[in-house]
Amino acid sequence: MIGTGAAPFLPPALHPETAEGITRYERDLTLADGTGISLELVAAPFLAEGKPAWQVVAHNITARKQTEEALRQAKEWAEEANRTKSRFLANMSHELRTLLTTIIGYADLITISVQSGEFDRVASDIARVRDAGKHLLAIINDLLDLSKIEAGRMEIHGKRFSVRALAEEVIASMRVFAQKRNNDLTLNIDPTVEMMHSDDMRVRQILYNLLHNACKFTENGAVTLDIARVVSDDDHAAHLVFTISDTGIGMTADQIASLFREFTQADSSTTRKYGGTGLGLALSRRLAHLLGGEITVTSQPGVGTTFVVTLPEHLVLAAAPEPTPVDATPISATPPAPEPGEHTRRLVLLIDDDPAVRDLLLRMLERPDLHIETAVDGASGLELARLLTPDLIILDILMPEMDGWTVLRELKASNDTAAIPVILLTIADDREHGMLLGAAEMIHKPADLDRLDQRIRTLIRGRSAQVEAANRQILIVEDDETVRQYLRRTLERECEDWVIMEVTDGQTALEHCTTAMPDVIVLDLMIPGIDGLQFIEALRTLPDGCSTPIIVVIAQDLTADERERLCHSVTRILYKGSFHCHEFAREVRAAIATYAQLYPLEV
Amino acid sequence: MPRILIVEDDAAIREMLARRLSMAGYETVSAEDGVRALLASVQAAPDLILMDMGLPILNGWQATERIKKRPETRHIPIIALTAYALNEDRYRAMNIGCDDFEAKPIDFDRLLQKIARLTGTYEQREAAS
């Protein structure tokens, strides 16, 4: 620090001439060797030989700062742990309540049956109570195991056993379950794999859990357990690698991220469809850690999932019964689980009359986070769009009776469906026509499916993203001073961040759009020079102008011809004097939202 | 008799609800996911909907929002029937337009009272008794 001059130590924004009294402040400095220190400084002004000067006393508070930072981190960790625990309890409560609903509900039904002397269904009702009870017991057992591990009380007993014998036993116990879903179950053991010294009960539990999972999420497919032995180059330690792979439904990256959390199956609705406690994977990973090993997973939606369990061939017992250290993610420190009910799929509506295309697209787009409903013609497509309000519509152009253009026009004309992004499937190259009618994307048949898949992702993401309204540009085209002022005031009040520009005639508006296309245009039809309709037609021929939302403000009713010309190319028509300022602002926001959905930022 | 749409993905609970409600004199139709709920809410013209929240495809919150936004189905009373039983879950359900909320496991007497009140059969029953 020597030689740096006095500047770093002087008080902030003070000069000796103007300073009064003693100033206390803190500074972070970097020493010559790169280490950072924190100083607390006390500066007192005084006169040295008649000239103002400072006396500064520095106190090294680096250690105190570090303690404070450590305390702050500990507090954050504790708060996060507390939140996670609450979420865990909420999820557990949900699982238990669901099972108790069945148990109590069927017990009531049995009581009613017995009282009324009708015994037909009693046996099957009792079976339901028993199944739910067993499921409840499985959850409680898994919970107890997890809490034992967390408290450091899970006992691990090492012994020598044959890996082959154990694997064959697990496979045999899984056989019936695998056949239920018509899955081939295969075991491959490398000849170098022989004996293992570990806790056989826990190894069995891990393999059973993972194989059970694999069979559960696979139908008419294959489930394989491969066992190999690897010896590390560094320390010559031998590990056994158990690879459990399936050809099942697979998972997305997001689903994998939440996989090992307690009570979160990749999609909570799968709990009902596939059963399971939602604790098995979390438990398996904890057990693998206890045995000195690890579990990793790779997966691809629609292709399958592979779990790899790596365990030391010879268990080092000393490491096992230690209480779980703070940083080893105990239950209470798992990452935040999603909100209840947030697991859901995006809804896509596919309207195409060709069964082959429907089939192909259904198969190609099969992903756990998408659900596709299909319609075989335009009319039923429109009906489904209205009933379901899907997140995206894929629309074929060439259909008998009602063609895709008509469907698209109807979709865009209805308040309920106008905002839904539409991807057009077409053989004809009619991009401009589609864009003019409000389509978000044109995909040519035979569909380029990689591109379709990517567009679907982008469109759905754009739709769900919050629309960033800051610095949006709005162009008001209106010759009447009073109306223009009113529009401007309304927009300024309701949409503070937006840049509002005004022009008074069509020609200037068009020039403005040529140099800088606004995000929304508010347009009076009766303007001097080229009128509103001509302006729209000219605008739609500009490079960026085909999709800009236009809100038309008019004073009088439109003729049928004017309405026809307008209805395909403007977002909304508002009548002067009959609309409220809030309604106007809402229309502008909606127009921007639609625009952002149709043209989301490429990520 | 009023028709009740049961939206529930758990088959055991769905069947149990249908049996109890038909014993109480209601006609029932069932849907097992959010999409089927949306379709049935129009096609079956129910007088009331019992909506589970943790549903596949579209969850109960999403389905309720869409049903309550549609002019033709907006009037149908919806009772959220869910194992998410915290107070915040209740507020969340009411906020998106549910008319009432019952936690699982189900208190059937109370549920039947709520159904009767929302379908207008409560007054009839009171008057009859």
Task: Using the predicted structure, report yes or no on whether residue B62 has a pLDDT greater than 60.
Answer: yes
Place of tokens 């899970």: A154
Nearest to A137 by CA among A169, A102, A99, A101: A99
Q: Is residue A494 less than 8 Å (CB to CB) from chain B?
A: no
Which residue among A103, A341, A387 sits closest to B84, beta carbon to beta carbon?
A: A341
pLDDT at A115: 93
Which pLDDT band holds residue A94 (cuts at 50, 70, 90)? confident
Select the residue from A136, A272, A391, A414 to test the B interface by mutation, using most B Cβ atoms within 10 A. Answer: A272
Select the residue from B14, B58, B64, B106 to test the A interface by mutation, using most A Cβ atoms within 10 A. Answer: B58
* Residues of chain B with C-beta less than 8 angstroms from the C-beta of A268: 54
Select the residue from B16, B90, B109 to test the A interface by mutation, using most A Cβ atoms within 10 A. Answer: B16
Cβ(A597)–Cβ(A463) under 8 Å? yes
Cβ(A260)–Cβ(A309) under 8 Å? no
- Return the structure tokens found at A198: 């570990």
pLDDT at A561: 64
Q: Name the average pLDDT for chain A.
A: 76
Give the percent of chain A with pLDDT over 70.
71
Q: Is residue B23 less than 8 Å (CB to CB) from chain A?
A: yes
Beta strand B27-31 with B48-51 is unpaired
Å between A371 CA and nearest CA of chain B = 6
- Return the structure tokens found at A442: 């044109």
Which pLDDT band holds residue A18 (cuts at 50, 70, 90)? low
* Residues of chain B with C-beta less than 8 angstroms from the C-beta of A97: 83, 85, 103-105
- Return the structure tokens found at A409: 């026009």
Q: Does the distance separating the beta carbons of A100 and B85 come in below 8 Å? A: no
Q: Is residue B45 less than 8 Å (CB to CB) from chain A?
A: no
Mean pLDDT of A396-419: 83
* CA separation for the pair A105, A92 (Å, rounded): 20
Cβ(A460)–Cβ(A346) under 8 Å? yes
* Residues of chain B with C-beta less than 8 angstroms from the C-beta of A387: 38-39, 42, 70
- Return the structure tokens found at A2: 């020597």
Which residue among B39, B59, B106 sits closest to A341, beta carbon to beta carbon?
A: B59
pLDDT at A469: 46
Which residues neighbour A593 within 8 Å (Cβ) at sequence distance 6 or greater? A419, A467
* CA separation for the pair A388, B34 (Å, rounded): 9
Q: Does the distance separating the beta carbons of B104 and A100 come in below 8 Å? A: yes
- Return the structure tokens found at A517: 């296309």
Place of tokens 């209106």: A478
Q: Residue A484: how many CB atoms within 10 A of its CB?
A: 18
pLDDT at A12: 65
Give all strands (DSSP E) within A247-329, no chain letters.
Answer: 294-300, 304-312
* CA separation for the pair A484, A245 (Å, rounded): 67
| Range among A35-39, A460-464, A514-518 rated most confident | A35-39
More confident of the two residues A574 and A345: A345
Q: Does the distance separating the beta carbons of B57 and A388 come in below 8 Å? A: no
Task: Using the predicted structure, report yes or no on whether residue A601 has a pLDDT greater than 70.
Answer: no
Q: Is residue B110 less than 8 Å (CB to CB) from chain A?
A: no
Q: Residue A12: how many CB atoms within 10 A of its CB?
A: 7
Judged on CB neighbours under 10 Å (0-12, 13-18, 19+), A163 is buried
CA max distance for chain B = 43
Task: Using the predicted structure, report yes or no on whether residue A407 has a pLDDT greater than 60.
Answer: yes
* CA separation for the pair A256, A305 (Å, rounded): 10
Q: Which residue of B has its CA nearest to A267?
A: B56
Task: Using the predicted structure, report yes or no on whether residue A570 has a pLDDT greater than 80.
Answer: no
Q: Is A579 helix (H, G, I), strand (E, B) or coil?
A: coil
Rounded to two decimals, the ipTM of the complex is 0.80
- Residues A31-53: tens digit of each pLDDT: 888 888 888 888 887 778 888 77
- Return the structure tokens found at A470: 């800051």
